[in-house]
Structure 1
Amino acid sequence: MAWAFNREAWEIGAHWKRVPTHVDVLVTHGPPLGVLDRLEDDSASVGCPLLRERVKVVRPRVHVFGHLHVGHGWLEEDGTCFVNAALCDERNELAFTPIVVDVEAR
């Protein structure tokens, strides 16, 4: 798809490799593959598979993203709290309430 923030796999993979392995909170524009990343018609997952791989290595406590508005919400998986923080619907109208995540110091 020709969306903003899209990159070829080799380009975006180079960015994800730069994410340090000791990150508590990771903020990206888009979601990893399979995590709150479906389109309005609930079709196949459209998140980034290379980001998903990196998140499995980094294991942040919280991963916050948006981009896919209808995926708004949160879920916890393998010790990471994933938050799709998009507040607008596909028409860019305010549709969702903010999600608050408390991250206590280690």
Structure 2
Amino acid sequence: MRAGSRLAISPYVTHRMPEVWPGPERFRPGRWDPQESLHRPAAPSAFLPFGGGRHRCVGAPFATAELKTILAELLRSVDLRLLTDVAPASIIVMRPRRGLPVAVRRRT
């Protein structure tokens, strides 16, 4: 690159690279399980939910631990079913365009 050039990193594109994430368009929670055949360690340059390098969100470890705890407790008592397809609203800062509407059913 030449001096003065601009560089943009796109988590949307990075998270969909098949050479990094096999079957990137498929919802596969097992990809995070080290016991699964498709598991890949989430390298800092390949998984960017909180940015990266010097500009990584300082709250990333806390947010990740909090999310895991909340989901573990929630999913013990309910089943969630996604009601619509999810479409991204942006290329740089990803978020669902229309939210994540889910049906919640208490487990018996």
| Structure (1 or 2) with the greater strand fraction | 1
- Normalization by structure 1: what TM-score? 0.26
| Structure (1 or 2) with the greater helix fraction | 2
Whose radius of gyration is greater, 1 or 2? 2
